[in-house]
């Protein structure tokens, strides 16, 4: 181990001990983010920064930055023999300094300057330098939340998630960071809307804004687009103070090939597979992590712990899991390499995901791991001990696609697609599911959620309200992308914002579009729960708020999501009338959910129920309050001793057109 002094007052006196180097080599260093990267410290009573980098195949490495004129001759790093780690201490460098690494590849060629893979802060894109972050600990006040969050995120708890792209929820205006100026408004809005969690599209630093964060390079750095690490931590703390959980989308499947990033990092395929049949993703023109390399696995594990541990984030939604699990994902025959048994399963990715989930649960109690996995891979949410991948929840992409397909059909044709709404219950208990209406459904020409609904303008809004009522009654946790809660006409635009103007007077499509760009200066006006100038959009917003509040207050709607005994079809086969009716049950509570997916009101429609007495009409998506025709059951119905659908008691109901009605047994 060398203790040689470098140029310009720098020193290579080692900071990393032999145990550190051993753990890094084994891929088992849980504190690697505190060892590699740039860290403010002192050496021989001199303040400065210790830089450490893993680049085993480089012939020479230097730190360059605004403190040395970006001159690679002034601060060379020293290699720790046998480890592939380089380090140097540079005195007088302070937090906020810009830096990169200059590497000479194994052939001696000077590579493009590289950003620090372990940087905890980065320059505002399109600039690409790393930033020396402040090393002081964040000021947390969320101990009560952290102690109780496990119960708030369990399978028998209500989860209603508001999915947000931080850059386009509302356009940033004025002074201060996005976390400061819009964060409090977002928290206030989500709480008042009754959501239990906010889920953010990736906020890890990424060079291309149009990737929405799904092509990240700064796996330890919150994007400078929104503010500083300290401001992000304060935002998380404020979420917890308001009773909101925070979930981040996180991307360990691939990374972009930008020259300043991980690609060909030390002159070799270090982070990626060398063979493009394994290392290149044809769908996204990105590179795929080599999960067979210990140090790469350690890099990604440490990134997950950075967000869950250091930033107190309550969960990670792991993106593109299917692309990780299958070696032939989106590849032609002959364009992929089978595993050692000749199969298509990516055994290294499977082991990585299992280890990741075990580590996250062990190191960050109460945090949840969510898989965006679009295939029928078995046991995604089974425990690792039982042969599963160990996730807490899985997005139910099949349910989303089937039900949206149904809602796009004209009601006169829905009888031929009835099973699209019922099929989800065939496999509802094979995993612990989240029902997502995500950003992916309102981009790339797919149109808006309201635009997917069939019929004229009135019917589109009625269909959307009925669909949301069906979704909130159905087993599975809930996720709704921003803008869907107001039924905006416009497809999501990451360079724009939610069409808040459609909540104002008028409310028609043209009116909403003409007001794009107008935003409320504070969050209060965005909550149009009452007023003189109601629009259909405000009605949808009120409905989502009321669905969330009913959901959180009704254990039968969430407490038995993972228990088959908590659900029972009452009517699942009335395709001729396009009517669905099911029971949700928890302990002694019974909830009846009825959806009429045609524009024809149905009077004296008899439905069997398991309990005698009054059934209160808790939600009617056709209520005038939500923009409907105001047909209903006058607040509730008394059961009659008339047998129906296998029950001794039954209700005679008026089913409003294109509506979902929720009844709760009283007494």
Instruction: For residues 67-92, give the mean pLDDT.
Output: 95
| 3-state secondary structure labels for all residues of 402-467 | HHHHHHHCCHHHHHHHCHHHHHHHHCCCCCCEEEEECHHHHCCCCCCHHHHCCCCHHHHHHHHHHH
Model confidence at 47: pLDDT above 70: yes
What residues have CB less than 8 Å from 526, skipping those under 6 apart?
Answer: 185, 189, 500, 503, 520
Domains, the chain, ordered by start: 18-131 (2.60.40.10), 157-551 (3.20.20.80), 563-665 (2.60.40.1180)
Question: Of 321-335, 381-395, 520-534, which gets the smallest average pLDDT?
Answer: 520-534
**Is 372 designated active site?**
yes
The model's pTM: 0.94
pLDDT in tens, 424-455: 999 999 999 999 999 999 999 999 999 999 99
CB 572 within 8 A of CB 610: no
| 3-state secondary structure labels for all residues of 362-385 | HHCCCCEEEECCCCCCCCCCCCHH
- State the pLDDT confidence band at 507, using cuts at 50, 70 and 90: very low
Instruction: For residues 257-283, give the mean pLDDT.
Output: 96
- State the pLDDT confidence band at 15, using cuts at 50, 70 and 90: confident
CB 554 within 8 A of CB 543: no
Q: How far apart are CA 661 and CA 659, in angstroms?
A: 7
Query: What is the pLDDT at residue 176?
Result: 81
Closest-CA residue to 480 (of 548, 581, 530) = 548
Query: What is the pLDDT at residue 271?
Result: 98
- What's the distance, Cα to Cα, between the start and end of the chain in Å? 77
- Active-site residue (options: 266, 372, 497, 546): 372
Query: What is the pLDDT at residue 98?
Result: 98
CB 85 within 8 A of CB 95: no
Model confidence at 510: pLDDT above 90: no
pLDDT in tens, 537-596: 999 999 999 999 999 999 999 999 999 999 999 999 999 999 999 999 998 899 999 999
Query: What is the pLDDT at residue 9?
Result: 58
Q: What is the DSSP letter of 307?
A: I
Query: What is the pLDDT at residue 520?
Result: 39
pLDDT in tens, 342-378: 999 999 999 999 999 999 999 999 999 999 999 999 9
Joined tokens for residue 552: 């959180």
CB 519 within 8 A of CB 182: no
What residues have CB less than 8 Å from 452, skipping those under 6 apart?
Answer: 404, 407, 408, 441, 446
**Is 574 designated active site?**
no
Query: What is the pLDDT at residue 10?
Result: 65
Count Cα atoms within 13 angstroms, Cβ side, for 492.
27
Query: What is the pLDDT at residue 272?
Result: 97
Query: What is the pLDDT at residue 404?
Result: 98
Model confidence at 387: pLDDT above 90: yes
Length of the chain, in residues: 667
Query: What is the pLDDT at residue 12?
Result: 57
Percentage, residues of the chain above pLDDT 90: 90
pLDDT in tens, 173-192: 767 899 998 999 999 999 99
Count Cα atoms within 13 angstroms, Cβ side, for 480.
28
Instruction: For residues 455-471, give the mean pLDDT.
Output: 97
Q: How far apart are CA 595 and CA 544, in angstroms?
A: 16
CB 414 within 8 A of CB 420: no
CA distances, 601 to each of 471, 505, 539, 578, 660 (Å): 21, 29, 20, 12, 12
- State the pLDDT confidence band at 83, using cuts at 50, 70 and 90: confident
Q: Name residue 571's beta-bridge partners.
A: 581
Model confidence at 327: pLDDT above 50: yes
pLDDT in tens, 613-623: 999 999 999 99
- State the pLDDT confidence band at 11, using cuts at 50, 70 and 90: low
CB 6 within 8 A of CB 76: yes
Average pLDDT, whole number, for the chain? 93
Query: What is the pLDDT at residue 527?
Result: 57
Query: What is the pLDDT at residue 8?
Result: 54
Joined tokens for residue 443: 């981009």
CB 581 within 8 A of CB 571: yes
CA distances, 577 to each of 418, 595, 597, 609, 657 (Å): 10, 10, 8, 20, 11
Q: Name residue 317's beta-bridge partners.
A: 249, 370
Instruction: For residues 166-179, give the mean pLDDT.
Output: 87
């Amino acid at each position: 181990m060398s203790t040689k002094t470098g140029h310009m007052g720098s020193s290579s006196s080692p900071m990393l001990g032999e145990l550190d180097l051993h753990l890094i080599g084994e891929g088992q260093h849980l504190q690697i983010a505190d060892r590699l990267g740039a860290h403010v410290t002192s050496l021989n009573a001199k303040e400065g920064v210790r830089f450490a980098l893993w680049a085993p195949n480089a012939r020479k490495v230097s730190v360059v930055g605004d403190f040395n004129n970006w001159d690679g001759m002034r601060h060379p790093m020293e290699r720790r023999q046998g480890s592939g780690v380089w380090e140097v201490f540079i005195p007088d460098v302070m937090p906020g300094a810009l830096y990169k690494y200059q590497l000479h590849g194994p052939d001696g060629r000077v590579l493009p300057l590289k950003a620090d893979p372990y940087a905890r802060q980065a320059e505002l894109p399109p600039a690409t330098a790393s930033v020396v972050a402040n090393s002081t600990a964040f000021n947390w006040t969320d101990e009560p939340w952290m102690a109780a969050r496990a119960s708030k995120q369990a399978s028998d708890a209500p989860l209603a998630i508001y999915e947000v792209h931080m850059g386009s929820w509302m356009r940033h205006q004025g002074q201060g960071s996005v976390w400061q100026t819009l964060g409090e408004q977002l928290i206030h809005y989500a709480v008042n809307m009754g959501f239990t969690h906010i889920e953010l599209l990736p906020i890890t630093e990424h060079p291309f804004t149009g990737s929405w964060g799904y092509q990240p390079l700064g796996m330890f750095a919150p994007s400078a687009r929104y503010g500083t690490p300290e401001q992000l931590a304060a935002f998380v703390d404020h979420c917890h103070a308001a009773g909101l959980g925070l979930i981040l989308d996180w991307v360990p499947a691939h990374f972009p090939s930008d020259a300043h990033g991980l690609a060909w990092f030390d002159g070799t395929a270090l982070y990626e597979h060398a063979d493009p049949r394994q290392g290149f993703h044809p769908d996204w023109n990105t590179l795929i992590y080599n999960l067979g390399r210990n140090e790469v696995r350690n890099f990604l594990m440490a990134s997950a712990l950075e967000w869950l541990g250091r930033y107190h984030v309550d969960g990670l939604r792991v993106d593109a899991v299917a692309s990780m699990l299958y070696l032939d994902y989106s590849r032609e025959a002959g364009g992929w390499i089978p595993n050692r048994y000749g199969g298509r399963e990516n055994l290294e990715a499977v082991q990585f995901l299992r280890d990741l989930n075990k580590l996250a649960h062990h190191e960050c109690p109460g945090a949840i791991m969510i898989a965006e996995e679009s295939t029928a891979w078995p046991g995604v949410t089974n425990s690792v001990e039982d042969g599963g991948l160990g996730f807490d929840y899985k997005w139910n992409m099949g349910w989303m696609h089937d039900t949206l397909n149904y809602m796009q059909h004209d009601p006169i044709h829905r009888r031929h697609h009835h099973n699209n709404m019922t099929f989800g219950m065939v496999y509802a208990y094979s995993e612990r599911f989240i029902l997502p209406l995500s950003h992916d459904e309102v981009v790339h020409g797919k149109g808006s959620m309201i635009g997917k609904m069939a019929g004229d303008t009135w019917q589109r809004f009625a269909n959307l309200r009925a669909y949301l009522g069906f979704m909130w009654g159905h087993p599975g946790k809930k996720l709704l992308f921003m803008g869907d809660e107001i039924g905006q006409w416009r497809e999501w635009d990451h360079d724009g914002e939610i069409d808040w103007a459609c909540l104002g007077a008028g409310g028609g499509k043209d009116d909403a579009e003409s007001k794009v760009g107008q935003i409320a200066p504070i969050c209060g006006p965005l909550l149009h729960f009452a007023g003189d100038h109601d629009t259909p959009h405000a009605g949808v917003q009120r409905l989502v708020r009321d669905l969330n509040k009913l959901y959180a207050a009704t254990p039968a709607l969430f407490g038995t999501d993972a228990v088959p005994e908590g659900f029972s079809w009452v009517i699942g086969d009335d395709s001729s009338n396009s009517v669905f009716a099911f029971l949700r049950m928890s302990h002694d509570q019974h909830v009846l959910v009825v959806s009429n997916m045609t524009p024809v009101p149905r009077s004296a429609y008899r439905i069997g129920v398991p309990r005698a007495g009054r059934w209160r009409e808790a939600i009617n998506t056709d209520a005038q309050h939500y923009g409907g025709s105001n047909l209903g059951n006058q607040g509730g119905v008394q059961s009659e001793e008339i047998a129906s659908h296998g029950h001794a008691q039954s209700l005679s109901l008026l089913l409003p057109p294109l509506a979902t009605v929720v009844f709760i047994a009283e007494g």
